[in-house]
């Protein structure tokens, strides 16, 4: 029996350094894929934000309007993705999401996975932070975050209300290195999908591209003399990882972590502000 999972990523605010939408592009390029459905504009876009594009094809000029594209991606005889990729709509999000889920129902989808990427204070020299929430589970990120959300969050919520099983995946990418595609983020999301599905996904040349991304980030940090800033981020990252590891070890271990954090902050120029 074939299982079809909907995988959705959106360009724009939810797609720092294209780490999320490049997951869809990568899967389309590595597996047998067919373009199967679309959601055309129908008033979902502000053309001053998501502008139409003009191309010359065999000597003929063609205008491409913003739209949503769905691909049927055959991962194996037992597993397909219904992959959705689109610019984030500007208007009528609820209607857009319900239209999306009607298409999902046409393909017998019962599980929806939304993916996104965001800028954060994280070092490129460590594994990029990955936040995953499944169904109605309130992870620690959900509890502490208050602020704007994007279309992946709305689609996830409406899908859950509609009876779909849902998973949300977000990778954080360094905000100081924001002018190139973050292939490390794409690789982290592919890894997470493989674990979620218990199905190894074809990584192709992502590991090589991720290594090149890290090398370019190293060169940028060296040229801009931001080593102290990166070391600060590394220390904060390592403290966070250590905190997660010792949370279950009781008060003495936690007190030791607090003392280490306080000692580190006292050495920083911004201490006491």
Delimit the domains of the chain by residue range.
Answer: 3-205, 226-266
- How large is the average pLDDT for residues 38-67? 88
Sequence-ordered list of residues with C-beta below 8 angstroms from that of 142, at least 6 positions apart, any chain: 133
Specify which residues 33 forms β-bridges with: 73
CATH of span 3-205: 3.40.50.10900
Backbone phi and psi for residue 36, each to the nearest 5 degrees, phi listed first:
-115, -35
- The rounded distance, in Å, linking the Cα atoms of 15 and 65 is 20
State residue 261's pLDDT score.
54
- How large is the average pLDDT for residues 145-149? 78
- The rounded distance, in Å, linking the Cα atoms of 10 and 12 is 7
Q: Which residue has the tokens 């490129």?
A: 124
State residue 140's pLDDT score.
46
State residue 270's pLDDT score.
46
- The rounded distance, in Å, linking the Cα atoms of 3 and 106 is 13
Of 66-70, 104-108, 220-224, the least confident: 220-224
Sequence-ordered list of residues with C-beta below 8 angstroms from that of 35, at least 6 positions apart, any chain: 69, 70, 71
Would you say the C-alpha torsion 115, 121, 125, 130 has a positive or negative sign?
negative
Per-residue pLDDT band for 236 (boundaries 50, 70, 90) equals confident
Provide the Cα torsion 21, 175, 136, 199; round to 10°. 50
Contact indicator for 39, 115 with CB cutoff of 8 Å = no
Sequence-ordered list of residues with C-beta below 8 angstroms from that of 3, at least 6 positions apart, any chain: 78, 79, 80, 111
Backbone phi and psi for residue 228, each to the nearest 5 degrees, phi listed first:
-65, -40
Spell out where 77-219 has E strands: 79-87, 111-120, 130-134, 165-174
Backbone phi and psi for residue 71, each to the nearest 5 degrees, phi listed first:
-115, 140
Has this prediction a pTM greater than 0.75? yes
Q: Which residue has the tokens 């099983």?
A: 165
68-107 per-position pLDDT tens digit: 999 999 999 999 999 999 999 999 999 999 999 999 999 9
DSSP 93: H
Helix axes 251-266, 227-246, angle to 10 degrees: 170
Contact indicator for 113, 167 with CB cutoff of 8 Å = yes
């Amino acid at each position: 029996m074939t299982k079809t999972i909907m995988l959705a990523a959106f360009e724009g605010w939810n797609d720092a350094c294209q780490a999320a939408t490049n997951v869809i592009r990568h899967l389309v390029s590595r597996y047998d894929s067919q373009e199967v459905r679309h959601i055309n504009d129908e008033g979902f876009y502000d053309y001053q934000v998501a502008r139409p594009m003009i191309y010359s094809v065999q000597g003929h000029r063609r205008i491409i309007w913003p739209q949503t594209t769905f691909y049927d991606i055959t991962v194996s005889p037992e597993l397909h993705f219904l992959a959705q990729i689109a610019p984030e709509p500007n208007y009528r999000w609820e209607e857009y999401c319900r239209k999306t889920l009607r298409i999902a129902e046409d393909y017998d989808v019962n599980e929806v996975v939304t993916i996104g990427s965001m800028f954060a204070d994280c070092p490129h020299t460590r594994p990029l932070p990955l936040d995953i929430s499944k169904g109605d589970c309130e992870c620690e990120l959900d509890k502490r975050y208050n602020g704007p959300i994007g279309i992946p969050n709305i689609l996830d919520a409406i899908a859950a209300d509609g009876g779909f099983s849902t998973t949300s995946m977000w990778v954080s990418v360094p905000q100081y290195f924001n002018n190139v595609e973050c292939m490390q983020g794409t690789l982290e999301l592919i890894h997470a999908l493989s674990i979620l599905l218990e199905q190894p996904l074809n990584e192709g040349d992502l590991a090589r591209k991720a290594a090149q991304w890290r090398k370019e980030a190293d060169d940028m940090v060296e040229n801009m003399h931001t080593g102290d800033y990166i070391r600060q981020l590394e220390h904060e990252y390592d403290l966070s990882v250590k905190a997660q590891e010792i949370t279950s070890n009781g008060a003495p271990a936690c007190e030791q972590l607090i003392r280490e954090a306080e000692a580190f902050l006292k050495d920083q120029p911004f201490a006491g502000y």
